[in-house]
């Protein structure tokens, strides 16, 4: 399938003729999964049926921290922001540069002063480079991460360090999700991260899939991980946000 941002790859079935709610597999970790399910119900009502099957389970760690002091934190996920709240006793700085608005909201709730890049990793890097006076930076990240913000900052002669403060452990599809994928019918699958997309692909490789899959990727990087999945359509959100992936779903499913 060709990967075109903001467009469908293949033929997406419209929701208009559907007499039943379309099932939507939500593979995000908790609590993001519950929040996305709630948002879908508020937006689409009974036209969609959210089915939660997290493929990752966050586990907070208690790592050794690099020597400081640091001028500001870097937070690239909600889980990282929650971990930061649990690690305040380590004397963390109050200012937190965040990849997006939701991460910033969680950081604020944990007592930090967030500055949001409102985008992706490249937007965050541009934001950090605009605030050299806040260095040294401390990136609190997950064990598995894509990109290297700390390395990019050091390459620009800005002091930075990192600490691995959480892990995302793989989790299997729920029995309900397996039963749904093993039966005929259209199933909508929004995917939010390359790792989750890869885990979903690997899970499908171990079972017989009878459902017609309509895939919605948050980014091109996510879409690359599902190239091997047989699907009726593949859509890529215009921007890497939950709002835009829901917009993509509405356009493809309602107005195809």
The tens digit of pLDDT for each residue in 125-146 reads 999 999 999 999 999 999 887 6
The tens digit of pLDDT for each residue in 44-73 reads 999 999 999 999 999 999 888 898 899 999
Rounded distance between C-alpha atoms, residue 55 and residue 33, angstroms = 10
pLDDT score at 19: 58
Q: Please, which pLDDT band fits residue 181 given cuts at 50, 70 and 90? A: very high
**Residue with tokens 């930076």, as numbered in its chain:** 137
pLDDT score at 31: 87
Tokens encoding 28: 């995000």
For the chain, the average pLDDT equals 89
Check pLDDT > 80 for residue 108: yes
Return all residues near 232 (Cβ < 8 A) that are at least 6 apart: 10, 11, 12, 13, 186, 212, 213, 214
Return all residues near 113 (Cβ < 8 A) that are at least 6 apart: 94, 95, 96
Tokens encoding 36: 């996305």
Check pLDDT > 50 for residue 4: no
DSSP, collapsed to helix, strand or coil, labels residue 80 as: helix
163 exposure class (CB count in 10 Å sphere: 0-12, 13-18, 19+): buried
Q: Average the pLDDT over 186-201 and give the result.
A: 95
The tens digit of pLDDT for each residue in 76-97 reads 999 999 999 999 988 999 999 9
Q: Is the dihedral of CA 191, 224, 245, 167 positive or negative?
A: positive
According to DSSP, the residues that pair with 73 across neighbouring strands are 96, 138
136 exposure class (CB count in 10 Å sphere: 0-12, 13-18, 19+): middle
pTM of the model: 0.75
Rounded distance between C-alpha atoms, residue 110 and residue 173, angstroms = 31
Cα–Cα distances in Å, from 73 out to 104, 114, 119, 138, 146? 12, 9, 17, 5, 18
Rounded distance between C-alpha atoms, residue 129 and residue 134, angstroms = 10
Helix H or strand E segment including 98? strand 95-98
The tens digit of pLDDT for each residue in 239-256 reads 888 889 999 999 988 875
Q: What share of the chain is helix, strand, coil (3-state, %, to 5)?
A: 35, 25, 40
Rounded distance between C-alpha atoms, residue 229 and residue 108, angstroms = 39
Of the candidates 86, 61, 84, 43, the one whose C-alpha atom is nearest the C-alpha of residue 248 is 43
Instruction: Give the chain's domains with CATH numbers.
Output: 8-55+171-255 (3.40.50.10090), 58-169 (3.40.50.10090)
Could you tell me if 253 and 245 are in contact, meaning their C-beta atoms sit under 8 angstroms apart? no
Q: 105-108: long-range contacts at Cβ-Cβ below 8 A with a sequence spacing of 24 or more? A: 106/78, 106/81, 106/82, 107/73, 107/75, 107/81
């Amino acid at each position: 399938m060709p990967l075109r941002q903001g467009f469908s790859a293949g033929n997406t079935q419209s929701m208009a003729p559907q007499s039943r709610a379309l099932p939507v597999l939500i593979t995000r970790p908790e609590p993001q999964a519950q929040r996305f399910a709630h948002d879908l119900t508020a937006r689409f009502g009974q036209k969609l049926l959210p089915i939660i099957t997290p493929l990752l389970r966050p586990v907070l760690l208690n790592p050794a921290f690099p020597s400081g002091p640091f001028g500001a934190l870097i937070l690239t996920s909600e889980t990282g922001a929650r971990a930061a709240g649990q690690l305040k006793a380590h004397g963390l700085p109050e200012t937190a540069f965040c990849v997006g608005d939701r991460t910033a909201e969680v950081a604020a709730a944990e007592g930090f002063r967030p500055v949001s890049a409102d985008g992706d990793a490249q937007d965050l890097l541009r934001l950090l480079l605009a605030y050299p006076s806040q260095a040294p930076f401390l990136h609190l990240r997950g064990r598995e991460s894509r990109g290297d913000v700390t390395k990019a900052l050091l390459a620009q002669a800005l002091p930075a360090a990192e600490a691995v403060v959480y892990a995302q452990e793989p989790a299997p599809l729920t029995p309900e999700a397996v039963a749904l994928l093993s039966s005929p019918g259209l199933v909508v699958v929004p995917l939010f991260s390359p790792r989750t997309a890869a885990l979903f692909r690997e899970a499908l490789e171990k079972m017989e899939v009878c459902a017609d899959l309509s895939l919605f990727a948050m980014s091109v990087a996510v879409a690359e991980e599902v190239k091997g999945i047989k699907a009726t359509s593949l859509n890529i959100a215009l921007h890497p946000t939950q709002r835009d992936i829901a917009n993509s779903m509405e356009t493809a499913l309602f107005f195809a």
